[in-house]
Amino acid sequence: MGLEWEQVVIAASDPAGLGRWWCEALGWTVVDDSPPVFEIQSEPGRLPGLLFLPADGEKGTQNRLHVDLRPDDQHAEVERLIALGAARIDVGQGDVSWIVLADPEGNEFCVLQPRRSA
């Protein structure tokens, strides 16, 4: 039996708007923008992708699942993402090496430090 990770589905008040934000943040490509679906991938046909669908109501509590991003330059990427509309947030992480941000709809994600060379 084979199993392939196809995508992560994100419920959004504005699927196309949030999908465009993540597309810009990640430098990905839109592969489906036929409402109510909005899907992006790093390149067409490359999995997994992110699929944005309409949500009922606003986000209420901390996400049970979030994305970790590993940049070449943590400070520069955090500043770039904030300029795009992300916000720094505190989810009780304390003094850690990663930075917790929220996308424009409040979904948390982490920007990690660069991977150290071996």
Domain positions in the chain:
1-57, 59-118
Q: Where are the alpha helices (DSSP H) in 44-117?
A: 74-84
Tens-digit pLDDT profile for residues 31-82: 999 999 999 999 999 999 999 999 987 778 878 888 999 999 999 999 999 9
Architecture of domain 59-118: Roll (3.10)
Is this model's pTM higher than 0.85 or not? yes
Instruction: Provide the Cα torsion 22, 116, 66, 109; round to 10°.
Output: -50
Instruction: Name which CATH class applies to 1-57.
Output: alpha beta
The SS3 of residue 71 is: coil
Q: Quick one: which of 116, 92, 103 has its CA closest to 50?
A: 103
Query: Residues 7, 49: contact at Cβ < 8 Å?
Result: yes
pLDDT band at 117 (very low <50, low <70, confident <90, very high): low
**pLDDT digit string (tens) for 19-31?**
999 999 999 999 9
